[in-house]
Amino acid sequence: MTDQTGPEQPPAPGITGYCPACGRGDVAPTAEEYEQQRQRAETAEAERKTLGQTALGYQQRAWDAEAAITRVRAVVSQLHADAAAARADGYETSAFAIDGSARRITYALESAEQLTPAATQATDGHS
């Protein structure tokens, strides 16, 4: 027992900034502890920024892919229109070839979209 503080208390385990003189755990961290905490915070912030940039890069790629799919769909629509015009002008063989190309492109798009359901939703305006 000390003169005025009563019995000496054992150190509280796991309390940062523990004061052995008064037995309380509300003392500021040591310089070393503070530096470790600051470095952990800096590292966490750097990792957060890196992850954010990575996610933005992936999102940009997704937007670019959606735009490319939209352009390909426009080309397919134009091919179908060209086939109809060729057919109307009596060029059945050419119309058949053009329609065949348009169908193959459409099939390729649909096959790719089955592999990536998010692409299908994005191009259908569901995103």
For residue 19, name the pLDDT band (cuts at 50, 70, 90): low
Q: Is residue 19 part of a domain?
A: no
Contact 80, 99 (CB under 8 A): yes
| Structural domain includes residue 20 | no
User: Which of 4-8, 82-86, 107-111 is modeled with the greatest confidence?
Assistant: 82-86
Domain that holds residue 91: 31-123
Q: Domain for residue 3, yes or no?
A: no
- Quickly state the pLDDT bin for 15 (edges 50, 70, 90): low
In a domain, 112, yes or no: yes
Each residue's pLDDT tens digit, 103-112: 999 999 888 8
Q: What is the pTM of this model?
A: 0.52
State residue 48 phi and psi, 5-degree precision: -60, -45
Q: Is 21 inside a domain boundary?
A: no
- Structure confidence by residue, pLDDT tens digits, 30-75: 788 889 999 999 999 999 999 988 998 899 998 998 898 899 999 9
Name the domain count of the chain: 1
